[in-house]
């Protein structure tokens, strides 16, 4: 019996080590902490797959545990005044510096859009609450954190439309005066899917004939910017990287557009383009826009164009992927030229790396002033890993660098 017990214990230890251990590049700091963090994410993902297979709860419904686990109630403290408001029927959390006696100075403002693949996340999560408070204190700014509706319950373009409505509401002169905001010092920022929404909003505001007031800067943090080619070098190199493997990113894209699993399968094989998107593939031709150092050993092969995608007609998601409100990288240079100054953060070990690199390159070619900050040891989501037990040094470094750039440019 003792030998059987020892054998079972050793077997369990070996299985646990096999499951937890994942090869992680040496350039990434705190590798074991990242392995353990990713082990939790993978376990939850496997549970979500199993739940969906049994018909108990859909995949994203289970993954929402991450959002619920990190949810906080935003409350005021000694230095920051917090309120929950509705901007044109869209929920927002507004963070403001507490007024000192006789303080009438107009302030900067940052509109922040959370990440989570349009399916997860919340403005009320601990890391976003912490980031907003740091911006308020270090920038003496007002921060508006938008709680947009999520897919798959609300497919594209609902999340984008929520954000656009909230931003336009805030940019009204009367609203800015209410919050003592300088109309010439307003930024939009977001991470991951939030970076996608921030880029799209910046573009659409410039093209809105009714919009007089414009943003001063945009800060895009490891943004996702195109759905046409899901086989760029970074998607290939980092397909099994922690936090955001290729399968999960493709799933986010698919769920953003539709609940039809045939479209997800087409996206997984990069055969989801239709004639609606074929003419736009030139904007994501990474052989033209990626510096050679990012191309690595990979050779460009144009995505397949199909008349129908897995039984999904041209009026559905096949058309949506060509919409620049979903894929901001697809706009022509004429649209890019009028955009505000940009900060683009990318990470080497992130499937979305090339989206950000290509966008930064295209913005520069169009004459936009761009700061591209690339983290050679960075991984997706690092900016949000700033709270115990998943507090990473790189997350704090990214936050400090972002705020420093805003101090100098906003």
- What pLDDT score was predicted for residue 99? 77
C-alpha distances in angstroms, 311 versus 186, 260, 264, 265, 286?
44, 9, 12, 11, 28
Q: Classify residue 88 as left (phi > 0), alpha (psi -120 to 50) or beta.
A: left
Per-residue pLDDT of the chain (410 residues; tens, 9 = 90+): 555 555 454 334 444 544 455 778 989 999 999 999 999 999 999 999 999 999 999 999 999 999 999 999 999 999 999 999 999 999 999 999 987 655 678 999 999 999 999 999 999 999 999 999 999 999 999 999 999 999 999 999 999 999 999 999 999 999 999 999 999 999 999 999 999 999 999 999 999 999 999 999 999 999 999 999 999 999 999 999 999 999 999 999 999 999 999 999 999 999 999 888 989 999 999 999 999 999 989 999 999 998 666 544 445 788 899 999 999 999 999 999 999 999 999 999 999 999 999 999 999 999 999 999 999 999 999 999 999 989 999 999 999 999 999 999 99
Active site residue 350: yes
Active site residue 192: yes
DSSP state of 371: E
DSSP state of 384: G
Annotated catalytic residue within 192, 202, 254, 320 = 192
Q: Please give the Cα distance from 403 to 400 (Å, whole number).
A: 5
Annotated catalytic residue within 38, 162, 350, 354 = 350
Active site residue 314: no
Annotated catalytic residue within 114, 155, 272, 380 = 380
What is the phi/psi pair of residue 149, to 5°? -70, 155
Q: How many residues does the chain have?
A: 410
- In 226-278, DSSP assigns E strands to none
Contacts of 137 (CB under 8 A, 6+ apart): 79, 80, 97
């Amino acid at each position: 019996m003792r030998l059987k017990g020892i054998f079972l214990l050793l077997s369990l230890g070996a299985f646990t080590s096999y499951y937890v251990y994942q090869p992680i590049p040496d350039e990434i700091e705190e590798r074991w902490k990242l392995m353990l963090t990713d082990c939790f994410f993978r376990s939850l993902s496997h549970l979500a797959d199993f739940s969906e297979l049994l018909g108990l709860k859909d995949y994203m419904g289970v993954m929402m545990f991450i959002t619920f686990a990190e949810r906080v109630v935003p409350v005021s403290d000694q230095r920051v005044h917090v309120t929950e408001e509705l901007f044109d029927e869209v929920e927002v959390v507004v963070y403001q510096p507490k007024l000192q006696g006789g303080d009438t100075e107009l302030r900067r403002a940052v509109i922040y859009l959370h990440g989570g693949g349009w399916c997860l996340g919340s403005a009320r999560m601990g890391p976003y609450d912490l980031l907003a408070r740091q911006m308020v204190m270090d920038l003496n700014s007002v921060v508006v954190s938008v709680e947009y509706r999520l897919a798959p319950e609300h497919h594209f373009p609902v999340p984008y439309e929520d954000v656009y409505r909230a931003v336009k509401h805030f940019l009204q002169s009367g609203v800015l005066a209410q919050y003592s905001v300088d109309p010439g010092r307003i930024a939009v920022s977001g991470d991951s899917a939030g970076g996608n929404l921030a880029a799209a909003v910046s573009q659409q505001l410039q093209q809105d004939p009714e919009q007089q007031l414009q943003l001063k800067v945009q800060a895009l943090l490891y943004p996702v910017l195109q759905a046409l080619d899901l086989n760029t070098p970074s998607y290939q190199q980092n397909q099994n990287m922690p936090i955001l493997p290729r399968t999960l990113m493709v799933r986010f894209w698919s769920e953003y557009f539709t609940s039809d699993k045939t479209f997800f399968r087409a996206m997984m094989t990069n055969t989801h383009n239709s004639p609606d998107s074929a003419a736009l593939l030139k904007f994501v031709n990474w052989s033209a826009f990626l510096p050679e150092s990012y191309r690595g050993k990979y050779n460009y092969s144009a995505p397949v164009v199909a008349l129908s995608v897995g039984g999904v007609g041209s009026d559905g998601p096949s058309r949506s992927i060509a919409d620049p409100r979903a894929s901001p990288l697809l706009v022509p240079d004429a649209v890019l030229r009028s955009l505000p100054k940009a900060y683009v953060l990318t990470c080497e070990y992130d499937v979305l790396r090339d989206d950000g690199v290509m966008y930064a390159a295209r913005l520069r070619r169009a004459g936009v002033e761009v700061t591209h900050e690339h983290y050679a040891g960075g991984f997706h989501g690092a900016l949000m890993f700033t709270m115990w037990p998943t507090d990473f040094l790189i997350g704090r470094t990214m936050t400090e660098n972002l705020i420093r750039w805003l101090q100098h440019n906003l």
